[in-house]
Structure 1
């Protein structure tokens, strides 16, 4: 039994298994193409990724402390931030219930993975669930969705600066303020992000987040700010940049369509994402670039996504998107081209204020 029902599972229950006029296949067709074992998490294997990431992070800190050299610290920050991002991906599986079949273990490892990197596990899990349930829907998607041209014109300098020109450091602000046009905090149980029944979960995650803040404050008080910079802040900034880069590129491309109203439904929206190749980083950050299959069936463990992707590619055909461009090139292309969409219509695409 899955812990957190997948948005795709809920959709398949409510939607007749008939072909739509928009897509030449149904959600059931896609599900039938994937071997059943791809949906079965292995607790032992999932735990191995968690302990591997924790072990590498601890080893990196030990090496940095031993060398204590400013020549090494930039290398350490990049490596540590990359592993923080890998640890986030482990917690990401926990949030989807694909880490194990045990709710208590998903919650435990989710907090142990996310709290050290200042992510409120349940707050993020719930907002991320909203994102998965509404991917590709201009009106109801939760993260990295496009603003309309009129909304873009109304945005102030600071809002545009963070959303469009400094996107790689936007994540901490999102936790407190969400995305343009939306309100609510990931830390407050009365936020519009959450249901009343989720209040206790949010309180627990916020307490864990505050405990980590307190721990970092104690380290700073005892050893000084320079110590915090050396052994945590540098790596944390790199982690935030990884998180923003990857999530930005999952959903931001000038040829990915967005939908409105009745023109949107789950499967069509889930296909408005793109797989990316991160080269040597693919195994390090647990193949998070394999994203199309994940959006269709978020209850699959990350280590089954590549097999599932190969199984559905023949069925999806041209509806499956994968970029072969270098990551840096894709980022800068979308950075310049993807700012807003038209105020009206559906199946619309990003536009740029720089090309009119």
Structure 2
């Protein structure tokens, strides 16, 4: 169920459309409701999260190598893949420039966080910026935006299979090919994703990823393909599934409106996301479940998002959305019911195709 701060009933679709047409508050009013310190990053605190994640990852590798047991490896894959995801979230702060006020430090830690998990930091950062600047826009959003009915009819069987049947494995494909109907790759400086002025940044991140692939190749040559599967590929696969799951869940729900043309604006789009509760994983992956506040104020450090969320909930009222369903139940519900949107209408909602 999608609830407001007072745990009211789910908004009917008609009422949700009416609410979405005119917001009773401004971006400034929302910002004024948040304690000012929530917008201030702390370099020591940000670095502490980075080094904590690196330390846990190193410790898990040490334990796995010491035990070298197939009884432990499935546990190791799940834990290490989750930590890869946590490390990605640290780099995510760097990409939003909320890790610190120093661009060079954001870029350094961003590359140290993302390169080991084969994410081109600048390429991803720029496309992710596009996503945040256009969240909820049917025409311009970058990731996990709906497929229109007419676009769906033109999709090949392979495209439909990838988009609707194996959504938790699509992130590497997205890095190379983007979403259906959009061209470009995150690794090519000449991609339409990027401005000419961003060429060197994109190239730097691509070179870093190539260097990581070479390193993995050398280690695999030295220790064998089984080493690669046990110590890198399986944790990486879990990381990809975490990334796709979280991104999917925060932007895919039957009651979340999507806007077409001039009916969209930044604040309405930012409110077209939904908070999720991941239980004890919340702290491990740095409270990424507080997604509404994050989309309204993308430059806020992750460790202030919980406080900011509590501060804005009374003001947002029914516009604040949080699901109290278990994560996997939420995923299954959206997986089965959220496929396409109508070709017409200023405000539209997901519906199923089958």
Instruction: Report if TM-score (shorter chain) is over 0.5.
Output: yes
Instruction: Tell which deviates more after alignment, 89-98 or 157-166.
Output: 157-166
1:350 aligns with 2:341: no
What are the residue-to-residue correspondences of 1:297-308 with 2, within 5 Å? Answer: 297-308=297-308
Partner of 1:3: none
> Within 5 A, what are the aligned runs for 1:228-239?
228-239=228-239
| 1:77 aligned residue | 77
Matched residue of 1:287: which SS?
coil
Deviation string, structure 1 residues 57-93 (Cα, Å, up to 9, x no partner) = 0000000000000111000000000000000000000
Distance 1:284 1:95 in 2: 19
In structure 1, distance between residues paired with 2:146 and 2:274: 16
Partner in structure 2 of residue 12 of structure 1: none
Equivalent residue number for residue 167 of structure 1: 167
Q: Which residue of 1 aligns with 2:192?
A: 192
Deviation of residue 346 (structure 1)? 1.5
Query: How far apart, in 2, do the equivalents of 1:248 and 1:312 lie?
Result: 24
Give the 3 Å change call, closer, same or farther, for CA 102–200 of structure 1 in structure 2.
same
> SS of the counterpart of 1:231?
helix
Q: Which residue of 2 aligns with 1:312?
A: 312
**1:111 and 2:111 correspond:** yes
Question: Take 1:158 and 1:277, find their aligned partners in 2: how far apart are those partners?
Answer: 33
Residue 134 of structure 1 corresponds to 134
2: CA distance, partners of 1:334 / 1:154: 22
Structure 2, unaligned runs of 5 or more: 1-19
Quote the Cα distance in structure 1 between the aligned partners of 2:170 and 2:262. 31
Find the aligned partners of 1:45 and 1:78 in 2 and give their Cα distance: 26
User: Given that residues 185 and 191 in structure 2 are in contact (C-alpha distance below 8 angstroms), is that contact kept between their aligned partners in structure 1?
Assistant: yes
CA–CA distance in structure 2, aligned partners of residues 29 and 21 of structure 1: 18
SS of equivalent residue, structure 2 residue 293 = helix
Distance 1:220 1:156 in 2: 36
Instruction: Determine the structure 2 residue equivalent to 1:219.
Output: 219
Shift of 1:107: 0.1
1:60 and 2:66 are equivalent in the alignment: no
- Tell whether the 8 Å contact from 2:21 to 2:263 is kept in structure 1 after alignment: no
Residue matched to 2:4: none
Displacement of 1:21: 6.2
Instruction: Supply the distance in 2 between the matched residues of 1:238 and 1:228 (Cα, whole angstroms).
Output: 14
Q: Residues 38 and 304 of structure 2 are in contact (CA less than 8 Å); yes or no, is this contact kept in structure 1?
A: yes
Q: Describe the superposition over 1:170-229 as per-residue Cα deviations: whole angstroms up to 9, x where unpaired.
A: 000000000011000000000000000000000000000000000000011111000011
Asked if 1:143 corresponds to 2:132, the answer is no
**Following TM superposition, where does structure 1 have runs of at least 4 consecutive aligned residues deviating by more than 6 angstroms?**
none
Q: Secondary structure at the match of 1:351?
A: coil
Structure 2 residue 261 is the aligned partner of structure 1 residue 253? no
Cross-structure match for 2:92: 92
Report the count of equivalent residues. Answer: 335
Give the aligned CA root-mean-square deviation in angstroms.
Answer: 0.8
Aligned counterparts of 2:270 and 2:218: Cα–Cα separation in 1: 43
**Which residue of 2 is the match for residue 207 of structure 1?**
207
CA distance in 1, matches of 2:21, 2:97: 32
